[in-house]
Amino acid sequence: MKARVHITLKDGVLDPQGKAIGDSLRRIGYTSVSGVRQGKLIELDIDEKDRRRAAAEVERMCKDLLANPVIESYAIELDGVG
Protein backbone atom coordinates (compact mmCIF):
# COMPACT_ATOMS: atom_id res chain seq x y z
CA MET A 1 0.00 0.00 0.00
CA LYS A 2 1.16 3.53 -0.73
CA ALA A 3 0.87 6.24 1.87
CA ARG A 4 1.54 9.91 1.49
CA VAL A 5 2.27 12.09 4.49
CA HIS A 6 1.86 15.83 4.05
CA ILE A 7 3.77 17.79 6.66
CA THR A 8 3.25 21.50 7.16
CA LEU A 9 4.23 24.02 9.77
CA LYS A 10 1.47 24.60 12.29
CA ASP A 11 -0.63 27.73 12.04
CA GLY A 12 1.10 30.49 13.93
CA VAL A 13 4.59 29.08 13.36
CA LEU A 14 6.54 31.53 11.23
CA ASP A 15 7.50 30.05 7.86
CA PRO A 16 10.32 32.22 6.48
CA GLN A 17 10.73 30.00 3.40
CA GLY A 18 7.03 30.30 2.57
CA LYS A 19 7.28 34.04 3.05
CA ALA A 20 10.27 34.25 0.68
CA ILE A 21 8.40 32.21 -1.94
CA GLY A 22 5.38 34.51 -1.61
CA ASP A 23 7.60 37.58 -1.99
CA SER A 24 9.15 36.09 -5.15
CA LEU A 25 5.77 35.19 -6.67
CA ARG A 26 4.49 38.72 -6.12
CA ARG A 27 7.69 40.19 -7.51
CA ILE A 28 7.24 38.33 -10.80
CA GLY A 29 3.66 39.47 -11.12
CA TYR A 30 1.47 37.01 -9.23
CA THR A 31 -0.02 39.74 -7.10
CA SER A 32 -3.05 37.63 -6.14
CA VAL A 33 -0.89 35.55 -3.79
CA SER A 34 -1.64 36.59 -0.22
CA GLY A 35 0.02 33.71 1.64
CA VAL A 36 2.39 30.79 1.08
CA ARG A 37 3.18 27.92 3.44
CA GLN A 38 5.87 25.46 2.42
CA GLY A 39 5.69 21.88 3.60
CA LYS A 40 7.04 18.50 2.64
CA LEU A 41 5.63 15.33 1.15
CA ILE A 42 6.83 11.89 2.22
CA GLU A 43 5.76 8.85 0.16
CA LEU A 44 5.86 5.45 1.81
CA ASP A 45 5.44 1.94 0.44
CA ILE A 46 4.07 -0.26 3.18
CA ASP A 47 3.75 -4.04 3.23
CA GLU A 48 0.29 -3.97 4.76
CA LYS A 49 -2.99 -4.72 3.00
CA ASP A 50 -5.34 -3.70 5.79
CA ARG A 51 -6.19 -0.04 5.44
CA ARG A 52 -6.89 0.56 9.09
CA ARG A 53 -3.72 -1.10 10.27
CA ALA A 54 -1.71 0.81 7.66
CA ALA A 55 -3.25 4.11 8.77
CA ALA A 56 -2.47 3.36 12.41
CA GLU A 57 1.09 2.39 11.52
CA VAL A 58 1.72 5.59 9.56
CA GLU A 59 0.15 7.62 12.37
CA ARG A 60 2.73 6.13 14.77
CA MET A 61 5.54 6.89 12.29
CA CYS A 62 4.43 10.52 12.21
CA LYS A 63 4.43 10.77 15.98
CA ASP A 64 7.77 8.94 16.38
CA LEU A 65 9.84 10.53 13.62
CA LEU A 66 8.26 12.02 10.53
CA ALA A 67 6.72 15.13 12.12
CA ASN A 68 7.71 17.25 15.09
CA PRO A 69 4.48 18.01 16.98
CA VAL A 70 5.99 21.18 18.47
CA ILE A 71 6.09 22.89 15.09
CA GLU A 72 4.41 20.68 12.50
CA SER A 73 1.07 19.14 11.68
CA TYR A 74 0.54 16.27 9.28
CA ALA A 75 -2.12 14.68 7.11
CA ILE A 76 -2.05 11.06 5.96
CA GLU A 77 -3.35 9.85 2.59
CA LEU A 78 -3.58 6.15 1.69
CA ASP A 79 -4.16 4.50 -1.64
CA GLY A 80 -3.71 1.12 -3.30
CA VAL A 81 -5.37 -2.14 -2.30
CA GLY A 82 -7.94 -2.07 0.42
Partner 1 sequence: MKAGVVVFPDSNCDRDVMVALRAASGGEPVVLWHKESSVPPLDLIVLPGGFSYGDYLRPGAMAAHSPIMRAVKERATAGTPVLAICNGFQVACEAGLLPGALLRNASLKYVCRDVHLRVEQSQTVFTARYAQGQVVRIPVGHHDGNYVADAATLDRLEGEGRVAFRYVTPEGEPTAGANPNGSARNIAGVFNETRTVLGLMPHPERLADIRLGGTDGRAMFESLVEALA
Q: For binding to partner 1 (CB under 8 A), which residues are involved?
A: 9, 13-14, 16-17, 20, 64-66, 68, 70-71
For residues 2 and 68, which CB has a smaller minimum distance to partner 1 in the complex?
68
- Which amino acid appears at position 4 of this protein? R
Q: Which residues pair with 35 in a beta bridge?
A: none
- Shortest Cβ 42–partner 1 spacing (Å): 9
Task: Calculate the CA 57 to chain-centre distance.
Answer: 17
6 DSSP β-pair partners:
41, 75
Q: Which is nearer to partner 1, 51 or 59 (CB)?
A: 59
SS3 53: helix
Nearer to partner 1, 16 or 29 (CB): 16
